[in-house]
Amino acid sequence: MLVMRAIQMVAIKYIKMKFILFILFLFLFSVPFSVFGQIIKPMNEGKVSFISSKNVYVKFTSTEGINTGDTLYIYQADIWKPALIVKQKSSTSCVTENITDIKFTSGQSIVTFIKEKEENKKEIEDKQAADIVLPASTPDIIDTDSLKSISRKQLLNGRFTLSTNASLNPDTKSSFQRIRAAFSLNIQNINQSAFSAQTYITYRHRYGIDQSNIGFYDDFKIFTLALQFAPSDKFQMSFGRKINNNIANLGAIDGLQSEYHFNSYTLGAFLGTRPDFTDYTFNAKLPQFGVYFVRNDQSKNGSAQTSIAFTEQQNDFKTDRRFIYFQHNNSLLKNLNLFLSSEFDVFKKVKEDISNNIRLTSVYASIRYRLRKNLSFNVSYDNRRNIIFYESYQTFIDQLLAQETRQGFRFQANYNPFKNITVNASAFYRYQGSNPIPTKNYVANINFNQLPGIKASVSASFNLLESYYYKGSIIGGRISNNYLKGKLAAELNYRHVNYTFFNSESSLLQHIAGMNLSLNIFKKTSLMVSYEGTFEPTNTYHRYFITFVQRFKN
């Protein structure tokens, strides 16, 4: 009710401001589906498992009856369309070639059909008249209702996680124990209908530290809770809290979202509110609405996607921000990938002065180039706004690194000199205006996978960070291996931290050692146990994590 009331208030406010709301209409198509040739019947359904620049990989329960050169179909606009050609196959998977302009996504339904063989023709002719093989020039009639139910097979995927962790410090007043429960569930095509639902909810609480100022909604978080209606591949709409992948940088949207797909384009709109800044609850006084346009392109080398959105965000029903969001992801050129995300503010109000000048307020750009099969380079620039973490298990050092090295220029190289050896190095540079010394960070890692003799994976890392108020280094390593035919994974790790803070002339010297154990109790049930000890010259800190995970999947 609160969400509906907020939507009504936003709509009324929007009309009074004399803006035009973009409304997407539901398009349903009823096109008879027919094929030519012999009797054809549904065989089985597969799911897209991976998309590369050249191929689409489809996972089946079994590929019995599927042959190289066969055509796979996708249900679109109420008809089955030929979409993929089988190039190779295994017992459960097919490597296929896309023969359409459709951009496939992981988890998308694909169906194969089987033709009755000539040697079975006599047996078929002896059946009832309704089953007689029709001439090759006559279309065979297929029960579209049964085909539609196959394409809308209910799929369930979820996970329940229960964990506890604690920090045991010399100062008992700062020691604490925390419990956390998380539940995620995604149900596609509920009861073979056009409705789907998804949710991701967490609850965590700390003991041992004063929680008098902590309310229930500081611990309880709803990150996703939405119902989706998709009567066809061309149109879909959702209601509730959900992050839109086409405009993901905007964060979660509480309200109504809709999309209409045509050819290589997607037109979308949303109307709702933003989550509260402090505790991530519903806040009817933070309305937002907008439209977006997406174009998808495909080539033999890869794909490209371009998104542009026009958005207005309000605070207490007064315009707080009006901006244009632009995003482009391109891998059309061989061995080259380009990603660009930016925001342009088009409204600014200081006291009573209003400005509609366009200002670039956020930008992220990344270019990745693969020079050879075993050598690639990546250059990026990040000037996005600071991120708010509602959940984090980072240590003080990890938080320091993340804060200082997110915004700025980064150069990275990855090299595989041999099959089981990976080397990567990166350099980071950030200049903060009035600060006399820029922030610089240099990182190097080397990984050995399945070392001969011990069959373990070993890695070593080095990190050197320097800013205007501190300088330090982190040297670390880890070793891991699998036991009990892969059911048990074990890891030991170590880091040496040495930081000097210029302003206080103090230093931070730490030895951090830890171990991780992960046990797959059953196929969908696992248990993880971790310990980490931080040893300083005068103090010792202990942290442990215990996590139980139960997965659900049909």
CA trace torsion 93, 96, 101, 105 (10° rounding):
20
CB of 328 closer than 8 Å to CB of 340: yes
In angstroms, the CA 497 to CA 512 distance is 8
CA-based nearest residue to 463, from 472, 452, 453: 472
Of 453, 447, 405, residue with least CA distance to 426: 405
Assign residue 53 a region (left: φ > 0; alpha: ψ between -120 and 50; beta: otherwise).
alpha
Reported pTM = 0.65
The DSSP H or E segment spanning 554 is: none
Local structure of 246: helix, strand or coil: helix
Secondary structure class of 103 (helix, strand, coil):
coil
User: Using an 8 Å Cβ cutoff, are 371 and 377 in contact?
Assistant: yes
Phi, psi at 389, each rounded to 5°:
-100, 115
User: Which of 350, 338, 272 is closest to 303 using CA atoms?
Assistant: 338
Burial degree of 552 (CB within 10 A; 0-12, 13-18, 19+): middle
Quick one: fold of 34-141?
Answer: Thrombin, subunit H (2.40.10)
Q: Is the dihedral angle over the CA atoms 328, 333, 334, 336 positive or is it negative? A: negative
**How do the pLDDT tens digits run along the chain, 554 residues long?**
444 444 444 444 443 443 333 323 322 233 333 333 333 344 567 888 777 767 888 888 778 778 777 888 887 655 667 788 888 887 778 888 887 767 787 778 888 865 444 344 444 334 333 333 333 333 333 444 444 545 578 889 999 999 999 988 877 677 888 999 999 999 989 998 999 999 999 999 988 777 778 888 989 999 999 999 999 888 999 999 999 888 877 889 999 999 999 888 999 999 999 999 888 999 999 999 999 999 988 777 788 889 999 999 988 888 888 999 998 889 888 889 999 888 888 987 766 777 788 888 888 899 999 999 899 999 998 887 655 554 555 555 555 555 555 578 889 999 999 888 999 999 988 776 666 678 888 999 999 988 877 889 999 999 998 887 778 899 999 999 989 888 999 999 999 999 888 777 678 899 999 999 999 999 899 999 999 999 998 889 899 999 999 999 87
Taking alpha carbons only, the member of 83, 88, 86, 63 closest to residue 73 is: 83
CB 232 within 8 A of CB 76: yes
Q: Whose CA is closest to 361, among 311, 402, 291?
A: 311
Strand, coil or helix: what is 145? helix
For residues 469 and 473, what is the distance between their CA atoms, to the nearest angstrom?
14
Vertex 84: Cα angle to 80 and 89 (nearest 5): 125
Spatial CA neighbour of 222 closest among 180, 249, 184? 184
Token look-up 């569930």 returns: 185
Nearest to 361 by CA among 242, 246, 243, 249: 249
Cβ distance 257 to 244 under 8 Å?
Answer: yes
What's the rounded Cα separation, in Å, for the pair 109 and 260? 19
Q: How is 168-186 classified by DSSP, letter by letter? A: E-SSGGG-EEEEEEEEEEE
